[in-house]
Structure 1
Amino acid sequence: MTVQQLIQALSQLPPGASVLLEGDAGYSPLGAVDLIHNGTGLPDEVLLQPDMTPD
């Protein structure tokens, strides 16, 4: 999925909805979005990171 596809998919959802990431241990709220620059001819990548603050 590209950033453009992600933005299009998210634009169809309620703006107040929480974004959760599914993982092995269940669901985590989205905590950060990082851009990883690839200088090797590969496209840049976006990393979605879970919120790691304790409950």
Structure 2
Amino acid sequence: MTLAPVAGARGTRDLDDATCRRIALTPTGAFAAAFAVAPLDRLTDWRAAPAAGPA
């Protein structure tokens, strides 16, 4: 988790800016992924049939 802000700060020369961007973009990306998967899961009815397991 520390590597990304430090690597970003090397490019911008501002550790605070890189840290704030990482803190903002990480939850934003997580929620975007969740909201993208939820409709696809509902559309494909992926969890409707239980998986066949060992008997």
More helix by share: 2
Q: Name the TM tier (shorter chain).
A: under 0.3
Q: State TM-score, norm by structure 2.
A: 0.25
More strand by share: 1
Q: State TM-score, norm by structure 1.
A: 0.25
Query: Greater relative contact order: 1 or 2 (C-alpha under 8 angstroms, separation 6 or more)?
Result: 1
